[in-house]
Structure 1
Amino acid sequence: MSPRFDLRSLLERVEAAAPIDAVSAVADQLALLSEATEVSFLIADFSGHALVRLSTAERTPEGTRTRGPESAETVPLEGTVYARVLRTQQPDVTATDRGTCVVVPVTDRGDAIGLLELVLPEPPDEQVQADIRAAGHALAYVIIANRRHTDLFEWGQRTTPFSLAAEIQRRLLPAAFTCEAGQFTLAGWLEPAATVGGDTFDYTLDRDALHVSITDAVGHEVGASLLATLLVGSLRNERRRGLPLAEQVHNADLALAENTAPGQFVTGQVMRVDLHTGHAQVVNAGHPLPLRLRDGRVEEVALDVDLPFGVEPAWPFRVQEFPLEPGDRIVFVTDGMLERNAAELDVATALAGSAALHPREVVHALGTAVMRATGGELSDDATVVCLDWYGGPPRARDSDSGAGRGLASH
């Protein structure tokens, strides 16, 4: 009989290893647990269309990137078992000529970090499958903890080189693009233009509120990224000071006015949802209106539009009521989703057909659609944030191995 999954032993192996060897430590423990002949980790790349198999194998497939002993093999997602496992968040067990292949998700709070793939000499029983899935969930936390200490995972995810502007922009985005909670699920995605256009999105969750923002800085490349850095940094600083929404945006607006030249501005929406009352408020600083899917119908959420941040010092931004009801799907976008060279994309129609999709797949699908509509030549960043609001009181989340029960796409 194979030994049972032992979290303590796994963590001891990971702590004893260098951060760059954290995945290998988990793989060794899994091989012992399941008698697997092969164990590999595939991390989701930054394009959203592929996985990257990280390893230190001496022999690598053609086209594999290497850096010293590290190798990163890009594996396209479309039409594969990997895509199905990521979409459904359910494991796959398949007999192959090498043995039984087991693929399980590596997910934390709905954020699909990647997949774990094992080849076993014999079909696994239910207990072994459960232990492998538990190990995949534990691996998500191992990756989250160890990527703070090494560039290995970031390097693996970059299937295309980053410009300096893209590097700066990346640092402004949240560490996880998806968050599931008892009252909501939120996901965001950014498709960068050929010359980075200064888009960002952000969110954070505390005991009393969910905070969400989406912003678009004027200009391109490093100038736009630095302008976005100033606004996002200010919004985060004011939020972390515990200030009300009105003061957060007021102070961020002043920061832009005091630290930039005339003509520099950022459009955006900043939202706060009270988790105890379900009451939502928003500031709309010259930004495209959000869309709402409710009872099968898609419509714009009517908001008054104030000036963008940085246009007029001390502008009196209005904190508006945001009409939010249980069952709503709200989508925030930047104008890159709506610009002229994306005219063939009807965002409202695409959203109307998204009801069966997890927000994680909604934002990916909209990002893919805008790239298809523009022939892959975006003239401006295209960013989307999808919020599914379930409502009700604050409560524990019902999950299985990092994925919310009943939330995954079919």
Structure 2
Amino acid sequence: MTVGRLGKPDRSESFGEGLLGTILDLAHELPPHRVGLVVAETVGRLGGRSPQILLQDYGQQRLVPLLAEGLTGGEPLSIDGSEAGRCFLTSLPVELALADGVRVHVPLLDGGDQTGVLAVTLDAVDADDRRLLRRIAGLVADLLQTKNGHTDLFFRTRRSEPMSVAAEIQWSLLPPLTMTMPRVAVAGVLEPAYDVAGDSFDYALNGGTLHLAMIDAMGHGLDAATMATVAIGAYRHARRISVELSEIYLFMDRAIAEQFAPDHFVTAQMLRLDTTTGRLQWVNAGHPAPVLIREHRVMGRLDSPTTLPVGFGGAQPQVSSVMLEPGDRVLCFTDGLVEEHESGKEQFGEDQLIDWVNQLEKADRSVRAVARDLSHTLKRARGDATSDDATLVLLEWRG
């Protein structure tokens, strides 16, 4: 710490504070379409050029350049097989030597989620550059998240094909697809990304307790999306007034029964994890049983007593529980993931799901990378057939 003549710390602005202060000072009233100009000005003072903000598309296949003043455009990059994609998947900076300098890719991390990648070219890179770029990327990620609710610019960038109205509703319901915290991590994938209707999930980390729900509303299109909206809304309401898991089911059941015809229903799985002890509790309402993964191998299903799907007026369900070990992962999925089949052939099946989990699970891979690869691999193994929503959520207790 530098001390001035009167014994006070030196409070004059340093170069690094000036860089970060540029973003902070402008952030409050910055129009979303001018984010690129602020980023370009900031990295330009560091000697950076050709800045790009690369956002993940909804299908989780490509990183798409944000087209905004001050930023460099270009073609979308495949997440698999590009330097930017490697940065995105590992959440670590990646540097690429060029004829005229070094292209630096820095992850845009926000609250454990990853918005995308910031890419910039410098003549040379040292430890100070890396530190400042990492901090700039952190502020830019927060800025994108803050401005996201004020504009359609980022939504449009992330779309690589037309989206149905039902899918529009479902995506507006979702929390961030990924959350990574010291004790727990969550990652989810929805398929088909641009036409999903009845599947959804939700989670919240309240103190030391992680709450997680996965639902599958019957049918397709707007009817299914509307039911899913009511079910998630009822789940959040019950969760936020701190009722027990079995009572959350009753809240959701009553909401669906009161709003829809008697033959309408939603299957659901509600979980609660004590992130301090690893105690996992869950309630199953007509949903496929979760799968427990330990030491990167499937140990088996978390079977439990089930009650009727939400909306059918089932009895108050029994709460099941298990003690997880540090590093354990729990895979929740909707039936579309295993019931899909090519014309004239058998269903994909849970055995194939388990086989692929065992192949893709590795010690050095994050839940986000595994969940994404699992969803895409299963889709390819089904012959790219997705006649029903196929959603999965991977939960890890880190201990």
TM-score by length of 2: 0.88
Of the three residues 56, 78, 81, the one matched with 2:80 is 78
Q: For residue 377 of structure 1, what is the amino acid of its counterpart?
A: A
CA distance, structure 1, for counterparts of residue 305 and residue 56 of structure 2? 38
CA distance, structure 1, for counterparts of residue 196 and residue 56 of structure 2? 21
Q: Is 1:366 equivalent to 2:353 in the alignment? A: no
CA distance, structure 2, for counterparts of residue 261 and residue 209 of structure 1? 35
Instruction: Please say if residues 109 and 179 of structure 1, whose CA atoms lie closer than 8 Å, have aligned partners that are also in contact.
Output: yes
Tell me the matched-pair count: 376
Of the three residues 58, 62, 87, the one matched with 1:50 is 62
Q: Which residue of 2 aligns with 1:349?
A: 355
CA distance, structure 1, for counterparts of residue 209 and residue 94 of structure 2? 37
CA distance, structure 2, for counterparts of residue 43 and residue 343 of structure 1? 32
CA distance, structure 2, for counterparts of residue 194 and residue 119 of structure 1? 34
Q: Aligned to 1:382, what secondary structure does the other structure show?
A: coil
Instruction: Please say if residues 5 and 131 of structure 1, whose CA atoms lie closer than 8 Å, have aligned partners that are also in contact.
Output: no
Relative contact order (C-alpha < 8 Å, sep 6+): which is higher? 1
CA distance, structure 2, for counterparts of residue 4 and residue 279 of structure 1? 44
CA distance, structure 1, for counterparts of residue 398 and residue 281 of structure 2? 17
Q: For residue 60 of structure 2, what is the amino acid of its counterpart?
A: G
CA separation of 1:110 and 1:261: change in aligned 2, threshold 3 A: same
CA distance, structure 2, for counterparts of residue 162 and residue 194 of structure 1? 5
CA separation of 1:98 and 1:13: change in aligned 2, threshold 3 A: farther
Q: For residue 338 of structure 2, what is the amino acid of its counterpart?
A: L
Q: What is the CA-CA distance between 1:164 and the residue it aligns to? A: 0.7
Q: Aligned to 2:16, what secondary structure does the other structure show?
A: coil
Q: What is the CA-CA distance between 1:76 and the residue it aligns to? A: 2.2
Q: What is the CA-CA distance between 1:246 and the residue it aligns to? A: 1.9
User: Which moved further from structure 2: 45-54 or 347-356?
Assistant: 347-356
Instruction: Please say if residues 271 and 280 of structure 2, whose CA atoms lie closer than 8 Å, have aligned partners that are also in contact.
Output: yes
Q: Which residue of 2 aligns with 1:207?
A: 207
Instruction: Please say if residues 14 and 26 of structure 1, whose CA atoms lie closer than 8 Å, have aligned partners that are also in contact.
Output: no
Q: What is the CA-CA distance between 1:22 and the residue it aligns to? A: 2.1
CA distance, structure 1, for counterparts of residue 17 and residue 61 of structure 2? 32
Cα displacement string for residues 254-305 of structure 1 (whole angstroms, at most 9, x for unaligned residues): 1111111011011110011133443221110011111111135411112122
Q: Which residue of 1 aligns with 2:26?
A: 13
Q: Which residue of 2 aligns with 1:248?
A: 248
Q: Aligned to 2:76, what secondary structure does the other structure show?
A: strand
CA distance, structure 1, for counterparts of residue 183 and residue 189 of structure 2? 21
Instruction: Please say if residues 37 and 119 of structure 1, whose CA atoms lie closer than 8 Å, have aligned partners that are also in contact.
Output: yes
CA distance, structure 1, for counterparts of residue 325 and residue 198 of structure 2? 31
Q: Which runs of 5+ in 2 are unaligned?
A: 1-13, 342-346
List structure 1 segments (4+ residues) > 4 angstroms apart after TM superposition. 57-61
Q: What is the CA-CA distance between 1:146 and the residue it aligns to? A: 0.9
Q: What is the CA-CA distance between 1:193 and the residue it aligns to? A: 7.2
CA distance, structure 2, for counterparts of residue 183 and residue 194 of structure 1? 32
Q: Which residue of 2 aligns with 1:89?
A: 91
Q: Is 1:39 equivalent to 2:47 in the alignment? A: no
Q: Which residue of 2 aligns with 1:321?
A: 321
Q: Aligned to 1:212, what secondary structure does the other structure show?
A: strand
Instruction: Please say if residues 64 and 76 of structure 2, whose CA atoms lie closer than 8 Å, have aligned partners that are also in contact.
Output: yes
Q: What is the CA-CA distance between 1:16 and the residue it aligns to? A: 4.5
Correspondence 1:157-306 to 2 at 5 A:
157-174=158-175, 176-192=176-192, 196-298=196-298, 299-306=300-307
Q: Which residue of 1 aligns with 2:135?
A: 134
Instruction: Please say if residues 33 and 68 of structure 2, whose CA atoms lie closer than 8 Å, have aligned partners that are also in contact.
Output: no
Q: What is the CA-CA distance between 1:323 and the residue it aligns to? A: 4.1
Measured on the aligned residues, the alpha-carbon RMSD in Å equals 2.2
Q: Which runs of 5+ in 1 are unaligned?
A: 65-72, 392-410
Q: What is the CA-CA distance between 1:194 and the residue it aligns to? A: 7.5
CA separation of 1:276 and 1:58: change in aligned 2, threshold 3 A: closer
Q: Aligned to 2:284, what secondary structure does the other structure show?
A: strand
Q: For residue 185 of structure 1, what is the amino acid of its counterpart?
A: A
Instruction: Please say if residues 195 and 220 of structure 1, whose CA atoms lie closer than 8 Å, have aligned partners that are also in contact.
Output: no
CA separation of 1:95 and 1:208: change in aligned 2, threshold 3 A: closer
Cα displacement string for residues 22-54 of structure 1 (whole angstroms, at most 9, x for unaligned residues): 23212211211x112211111111110101101
Cα displacement string for residues 139-173 of structure 1 (whole angstroms, at most 9, x for unaligned residues): 11111111111111111111111111111111221
CA distance, structure 2, for counterparts of residue 340 and residue 207 of structure 1? 38
Q: Aligned to 2:271, what secondary structure does the other structure show?
A: strand
